[in-house]
Amino acid sequence: MDEKSRAIPFLVLGLRVNASSRRITNSSEEKYLNKKILIINTGGTLSAVMKGNGLIPGLSVNDMQAELKMVSGDIDLEIEDFCSLDSANIFPEDWSAMAKKISGCKASYDGIVVIHGTDTLAYTSSMLSFMLRNIGIPVVLTGSQLSITNPVADAMENCRCAIHMAASGIPGVFVAFNRKVMLGCRASKVRSMSFDAFESINYPYIAKISSLGMQIEKSAVPERTGIFKLSDTYSKEVCMIKMFPGIHRSLIEAIADKGYKGLYIEAYGIGGMPFLKHDFIGTLEKVIRGGMAVVVGTQCRYEGTKMDVYETGRRALAIGAMEAHDMTGEAALTKLMWILGMTEDLNEVRDYYEINMAGEMAPVK
Ligand code: ASP
């Protein structure tokens, strides 16, 4: 789409806003003056255009610059293209590259916004929460359900929220979506089409925007536990499966035979798995003895596991499976990848896994 047709939405809405002439009248926003924010564009629907094979991320930051400036008020923006990918095509090496990029330029900015496709955004925000643990500035991921070129899109509102969160000075990795801000390692995409696509799972929202402005819940922001150090390694040998009635234990054997070092299982309810007709737990025991790190989570979106209740969970704990507790699936999986990137010693993996690294898990009692 050319510059002229992209300008149409704002003319239609009568919003001929000139960023430099926009006055900030809300005193709570004055603190955002003179803040310098970097926006890194990785693609996704926010930057999408329709091409012969369907919707693809096609706009560069230059194409979106007018809109981004419009929602940033007097905040000093720098914008950069990092990649232009549908987030289905984002892979762990991209997480590592993003973490390196953010770590490398964090000293020059008050905050960083990452524009990202929504489909795998929560995996990226979870992994960045670990790789950028204890970062001293806000890193805020956002995206949208409709392209910024669409006059009824959520794109500009989401960017506005992300940019203002990035200017807030609250350090950490966050997701801003639909006027809500959540911890990056607690966010999950729960709706495929609605603007209200993301929720904070088992954790309060960090901020909400209403007629009162952006209200930040400071008590929900995890305290930094040490000095920032980029930790961008990860293991590629991690696999994830979902439990279903009829699942065969040979699946576990095949995964172990392929050389995987870690397995995240989405089990039933509070963490149950079969051991009668097919002794799935018995096979898990063998692969754990062989050195595989196994984490058990739940298919339920909310509330997490409690594996010490039923026999189907206790048996798994007894053979050395680790528990995901109240983590999201995205956080539980990426945490395992990240820890296995540092060590494959099962005792160390367990020790690290039980630590709340970035707010992803309520402390284990
Ligand atoms: N398929 C898109 C992506 O994840 C969806 C979106 O951004 O909303 O890149």
CB–CB of 295/266 below 8 Å?
A: no
88: Cβ contacts below 8 Å, ≥ 6 apart: 117, 119, 120
Q: Whose CA is nearest to atom 1 of ligand 1?
A: 86
Nearest Cα neighbor of 143 from 189, 105, 186, 177 is 177
Nearest Cα neighbor of 335 from 141, 92, 169, 140 is 92
How many CB atoms neighbour CB 4 within 10 A? Answer: 7
Ligand 1 pocket at CB < 6 A = 44-45, 86-88, 117-119, 143, 145
Q: From residue 152, give the alpha-carbon distance in Å to each of 60, 148, 157, 214, 259.
A: 20, 9, 10, 22, 48
Q: How far is the CA of 268 from the centre of ligand 1 (A)?
A: 28
CB–CB of 330/358 below 8 Å?
A: no
DSSP 8-state symbol, 232: -
Write out the H or E segment, with its range, that includes residue 350.
helix 346-353
CB–CB of 80/40 below 8 Å?
A: yes
Q: Pocket of ligand 1, candidates 46, 50, 86: which has the most ligand atoms within 8 Å of its Cβ, to mutate?
A: 86
Q: On the CB side of 75, how many CA atoms lie within 13 Å of its CA?
A: 33
Q: From residue 323, give the alpha-carbon distance in Å to each of 52, 169, 267.
A: 46, 34, 10
Closest approach atom of ligand 1 to CA 86? 9
Q: How far is the CA of 129 from the centre of ligand 1 (A)?
A: 20
Annotated catalytic sites, by residue?
A: 45, 118-119, 189, 310
Closest approach atom of ligand 1 to CA 55? 1
Q: How far is the CA of 48 from the centre of ligand 1 (A)?
A: 9
Q: How far is the CA of 334 from the centre of ligand 1 (A)?
A: 19
The one-digit pLDDT tens for each residue of the chain (365 residues) are 333 333 322 222 222 223 333 333 344 555 677 899 999 999 999 999 999 999 999 999 999 999 999 999 889 999 999 999 999 999 999 999 999 999 999 999 999 999 999 999 999 999 999 999 999 999 999 999 999 999 999 999 999 999 999 999 999 999 999 999 999 999 999 999 999 999 999 999 999 999 999 999 999 999 999 999 999 999 999 999 999 999 999 999 999 999 999 999 999 999 999 999 889 999 999 999 999 999 999 999 999 999 999 999 999 999 999 999 999 999 999 999 999 999 999 999 999 999 999 999 998 76
**Which domains, ranges and CATH numbers included, belong to the chain?**
3-220 (3.40.50.1170), 238-353 (3.40.50.40)
